[in-house]
Amino acid sequence: MNIEIQDVDELRKVATLSCDPQQIEKEEDLILEVFCKDVQLSGFRKGKVPKEMVRRRFAGEIQQRLHQKLIQSTYEDLLKEKKWEVFALVVVDGPEGNPEKGLQISFTLDLRPEVKLEDYRHFPLTPFSIEVGASELEKSLQDLRRQHADYRKVDRAAQKGDFVRLNYRGILSDGSEISKWAEAWPVLGEQRNVWEEAGADEPSGLRCIADALVGLQEGDAREISTDFPANFEVPTLAGQAASYQLQVLEVREPVLPEWDADFFHKMRVDTLEALKEKVFQELQAYKRQQGRQAQREELIRLLLSRVSFPIPESAIIAEQERLLKNFTEQQAPHILNSPGFKNRQKEFFEQALAPARQRAALNFILEHVAEKEKIGLTSEDMQRVLLQDAAALRIPAEKLLQEMQQDRQRLREMQQRVILSKALDFLLAINTETSDPLPEARKA
């Protein structure tokens, strides 16, 4: 068998293999014998149909099976000859040519990159603090009261912290409606009967609107102007001047609950001191979670900076497709059906190139670590992830398991995801043994 290799880049190869007429004839005869044993035609007993009649009658099926067999056998011969570690078989072309003179089959494939990461146990991860100060604790307690506040309608202008029900509509300087240019961000265009906190430090909507509500009262109408920054997240609005027409429908002021037995009962504590301790513990847990997440992200950055290797194009494309799938699944039905959504998907796919490259590189690094540390799967790992995925999809775990059993590719992807996650958790654990949180400080 003749093999010709074309190097497209460091990892992509195009291997063209030639099958000689004798090999083709031998494989075809073996397939024909199988057909002759199994076929049954009128006037003939099973297995007694003349070979040439079977060849003519089932020529298409025989050729299809012959091509499948040649592709399989030549690919196996290629891997045996070259001893390649293949990441992905990208394209198969052929068989092409005349069977009497020989056929050619071309395989375009990406090889798995070699990862050399010598020391991954001594990354200088930044320690974090879970200290909770007195002012921080007090703010959280007051936020808790605001979350359980009653809201009383008032006949006066809105003050900072009041909640205002309003309608608003955004218009660009050329007179066009913002809602037409930002279909995926309805909060930027037009909203009716929405609540906004006047002068909120962290508004749920647009800051210019939240700030403008201070001093307005029921029945007031006002037009405000704003400019979207040049680097605004919505490209169609970036750098544009706009105005918003506001109509105030109602103003309500928050009435905070008292520190009394009823409030403590709602919080499932008995005293104010017990509530402070509960909030203190929750703040510490949140800081610990945030600290661990920051260390996780820092670890990923360090991993990607410590080793460099070529990334297979097919791996990058696969990650782009995963990111695009996640992006699409997060969209509301009316966005998915909008006329311009196909173009948005195309733009997102192109913009996802850089993060997809990083994700693919990280996967190869974590695979390398998992192999060196012999990190494997357990039935408990798969059961845990199966339950998590089923809960996220809002379907019974038994149904998801049945789907996985019928889709082997999906199952393999889940298994790989679990191993990569375990490898990252392993790296985080061994690199934080000497990077524990800074000493805990009790509340003042």
Query: Could you tell me if 285 and 181 lie in one domain?
Result: no
Q: What is the pLDDT of residue 441?
A: 44
- Strand duo 221-227 + 241-255: pairing: antiparallel
pLDDT of residue 83: 93
pLDDT of res. 436? 46
Same-domain pairing of 182 and 89: no
Which residues constitute the domain of residue 288? Answer: 266-431
Phi, psi of 219 (to 5 degrees): 95, -15
C-alpha–C-alpha distance, residues 419 and 263, integer Å: 46
Q: How many CA atoms lie within 13 A of 34 on its CB side?
A: 9
Burial of 74 (0-12, 13-18, 19+ CB in 10 A): buried
Residues near 13 by beta carbon (within 8 Å), at least 6 away in sequence: 5, 6, 7, 84, 108, 109, 110, 111
Number of structural domains found in the chain? 3
**Residue where one domain finishes, among candidates 54, 87, 111:** 111
Q: Which residue has the tokens 């009967």?
A: 193
Please indicate, yes or no, if residue 386 is contained in any of the structural domains: yes
Please report which helix (H) or strand (E) contains residue 397, including its range.
helix 397-406
Specify if 117 maps to a domain.
Answer: no
**119 in a structural domain:** no
At 298-357, the pLDDT tens digits run 999 999 999 999 999 999 999 999 999 999 988 878 778 888 888 889 999 999 999 999
Q: What is the pLDDT of residue 442?
A: 46
What tokens were used for 219? 């029945």
Same domain, 248 and 292: no
Residues 323 and 400 in one domain: yes
281 and 199 together in one domain: no
And the tokens for 381?
């790992």
Residue 19 sits in a domain whose CATH number is 3.30.70.1050
- Residue 343 CB neighbour total at 10 angstroms: 9
**Pair (401, 271) in one structural domain:** yes
Rounded Cα distance between 298 and 222, Å, is 47
Asked whether residue 138 is domain-assigned, the answer is no
Domain boundary among 201, 231, 255: 255
Judge contact between 420 and 111, C-beta under 8 A: no
Per-run averaged pLDDT (10 residues), the chain, 444 residues: 90 94 88 84 77 85 91 93 94 88 93 92 91 95 93 96 96 93 88 95 91 97 95 89 96 95 95 97 96 95 94 96 91 81 90 95 96 92 90 88 86 90 94 58 42
Same domain, 231 and 300: no
Beta-carbon contacts of 181 under 8 Å, excluding residues fewer than 6 positions away, are 172, 234, 236, 237
Domain holding 219: CATH number?
3.10.50.40
238 and 294 in a single domain? The answer is no
Mean pLDDT of the chain: 91
CA–CA distance, 108 with 86 (Å, rounded to integer): 11
Instruction: Compute CA 93 distance to the chain's CA centroid, rounded to the nearest angstrom.
Output: 32
Residue 346 vs residues 242, 313, 353: alpha-carbon distances, Å: 28, 18, 12
Same domain, 281 and 408: yes
Largest CA distance in the chain: 100
Q: Are residues 336 and 289 in the same domain?
A: yes
Q: Which of 166, 131, 182, 135 is nearest to 286 (CA)?
A: 131
Q: Round to whole Å and give the CA distance between 182 and 174.
A: 15
Residue 164 in any domain: the answer is yes
Distance of CA 147 to the CA centre of its chain: 32
The predicted structure's pLDDT at residue 433 = 66
The span from the CA of 334 to the CA of 336, in Å, is 6
417 with 274, same domain: the answer is yes
- The token pair at 64 is 């299809």
- Strand-pairing partners, residue 7, are 13
The predicted structure's pLDDT at residue 443 = 42
CATH (domain of 346): 1.10.3120
Residues 292 and 348 placed together within one structural domain of the fold: yes
Residue 331 in domain: yes
Output the pLDDT for position 118.
Answer: 82
Q: CA gyration radius for the chain?
A: 33
Q: How far apart are CA 93 and CA 7, in angstroms?
A: 17
